């Protein structure tokens, strides 16, 4: 049996150890760096929370989030559970049904979902800053309270849908081909890429999936990714990329 690209990416994170795997620049100037070990820990905790709560093969998980480091974590964690990840912070998800909703909005979509977890986007925020409506889960303490090591993961069916992009779907067995169809990342490269901020026009499924694909591709190549939010000025982005010693900066999503 071949090893899934998700498992391969996790092995790459483990090999990175204390070296950077995921770096985030917010529009307000916050910088957050996660090592391979820390990223893997986030993925373990988040996957455990999802499995303990509701996620399993056949579960549809709406990622109602902007391009963000937390979106990558939730996306990869969802794929570890064998569920279907639907990156769609757009109106085109309004008429669809989801069992799990991961959102940054306390008054988010799909109130009838079995689980609605609210994610706070501030770089190091541990909980939602305020009261949440009854029935909603504060994702911060819920994830942090989950186990550091994987307890149980249901197996993914290769024929099952891993990603639902609205106009197209990607099966678990086709994830490697989907990754190969994206931008090529040189071995060991540190990739810097610009993404729109949370206050920009709502991102498409294609954009959100592109961020997820680029992160996975970077990790599969033994490298890392730097997400730079809300930086339109080319010289400022170039300065950030240089300070991060990025090898690749010209990839569009």
Percent of the chain with pLDDT over 90: 77
Whether 193 is in a domain gets the answer yes
Whether 220 is in a domain gets the answer yes
Give the pLDDT confidence score for residue 1 in this predicted structure: 46
**In whole angstroms, what separates CA 233 from the centre of its chain?**
25
Ordered strands of the 20-25 beta sheet: 31-35, 20-25, 224-229, 190-195
Whether 211 is in a domain gets the answer yes
Give the pLDDT confidence score for residue 96 in this predicted structure: 79
Give the pLDDT confidence score for residue 90 in this predicted structure: 59
pLDDT in tens, 19-52: 999 999 998 889 999 999 999 999 999 999 999 9
Query: Is the model's pLDDT at 17 over the cut of 60?
Result: yes
Confirm whether pTM is higher than 0.85: yes
Query: Is the model's pLDDT at 63 over the cut of 90?
Result: yes
Q: What is the CATH classification number for the domain harbouring 167?
A: 3.40.50.12780
The neighbouring-strand residues paired with 35 are 20
d(CA 251, CA 194): 9
pLDDT in tens, 103-142: 998 887 788 899 999 999 987 788 999 899 999 999 999 9
Whether 253 is in a domain gets the answer no
Whether 138 is in a domain gets the answer yes
| Mean pLDDT over each residue of the chain, to the nearest integer | 92
Give the pLDDT confidence score for residue 149 in this predicted structure: 97
Tokens, residue 57: 């093969």
- pLDDT category at 93 given cuts 50, 70, 90 is low
Whether 250 is in a domain gets the answer no
Query: What Cα–Cα distance (Å) separates residue 101 from each residue in 9, 152, 165?
Result: 25, 21, 15
User: Per the structure, how many domains does the chain have?
Assistant: 1
Rounded to an integer, the average pLDDT of 76-102 is 86
Domain around 130: 5-243
Whether 248 is in a domain gets the answer no
Nearest to 52 by CA among 193, 167, 146: 146
Half-sphere exposure of 101 (CA within 13 A, CB side): 24
End-to-end CA separation in angstroms for the chain: 32
């Amino acid at each position: 049996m071949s090893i899934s690209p998700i498992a391969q990416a996790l092995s790459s994170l483990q090999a990175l150890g204390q070296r950077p795997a995921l770096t985030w620049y917010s529009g307000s100037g916050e910088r957050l760096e996660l090592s391979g070990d820390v990223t893997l820990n986030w993925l373990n905790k988040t996957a455990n929370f999802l499995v303990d709560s509701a996620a399993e093969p056949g579960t549809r998980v709406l990622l109602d989030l902007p391009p963000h480091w937390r979106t990558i974590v939730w996306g990869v964690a969802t794929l570890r559970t064998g569920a279907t990840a639907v990156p769609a912070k757009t109106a085109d998800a309004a008429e669809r049904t989801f069992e799990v909703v991961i959102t940054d909005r306390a008054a988010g979509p799909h109130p009838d979902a079995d689980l609605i977890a609210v994610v706070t986007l501030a770089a190091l925020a541990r909980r939602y800053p305020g009261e949440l409506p009854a029935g909603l889960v504060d994702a911060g303490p819920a994830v942090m309270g989950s186990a550091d090591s994987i307890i149980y993961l249901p197996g993914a069916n290769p024929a099952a849908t891993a990603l639902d992009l609205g106009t197209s779907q990607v099966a678990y067995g086709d994830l490697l081909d989907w990754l190969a169809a994206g931008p090529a990342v040189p071995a060991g490269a540190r990739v810097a890429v610009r993404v729109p901020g949370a206050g920009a026009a709502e991102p498409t499924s294609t954009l959100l999936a592109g961020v997820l694909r680029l992160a996975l591709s970077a990790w599969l190549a033994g490298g890392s990714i730097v997400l730079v939010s809300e930086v339109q000025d080319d010289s400022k982005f170039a300065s950030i990329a240089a300070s991060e010693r990025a090898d690749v900066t010209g990839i569009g999503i």
